[in-house]
Amino acid sequence: MIRFDYAIFQNFGYKGLYGGLDAKGIHTKKGLKKSEQILDHMGSTELAANLFRATQTEEKLKRENIKTKYHANQTHLEVGKKVRKTIQEIGGTMPENLPVAGSIKMLDKKDEPKQLKNKGQAS
């Protein structure tokens, strides 16, 4: 799939899991800036739900030999809805209502060791 098609495919999965919200709707609901990536601001629970949705969709596409964009998109939507239903049935918090996590990119920068300046010593 070309990148544009992948974005459409991804939105079908989001719509299933997030009760009809697409990527733009998730950005708005969670107060993310346009430049911020949704995945960078997910906590472990939300990330796990999305990973489960993605892996189960991939397996279903392979298992059922789904080839058309239309059927792939519909499969992603269905799997997303089933993951959402499972979260609801066990009493979990819907993904759109989970708190926004700090960006993983910011964590990476914060945890990087500071480089010491070399004061004339040969390396």
Q: Does residue 109 sit in helix, strand or coil?
A: helix
d(CA 3, CA 48): 23
d(CA 67, CA 47): 27
pTM of the model: 0.80
Angle formed by the axes of helices 69-89 and 3-17, to 10°?
30
Q: How many CB atoms lie within 10 A of CB 75?
A: 21
Mean pLDDT of 6-26: 96
What is residue 102's predicted lDDT score, i.e. its pLDDT? 81
Give yes or no for residue 35 having a pLDDT over 70: yes
Longest Cα–Cα distance in the chain: 65
Residues 41 and 100 sit within 8 Å (Cβ to Cβ): yes
What is residue 4's predicted lDDT score, i.e. its pLDDT? 54
The pLDDT tens digits of the residues spanning 42-100 come to 999 999 999 999 999 999 999 999 999 999 999 999 999 999 999 999 999 999 999 99
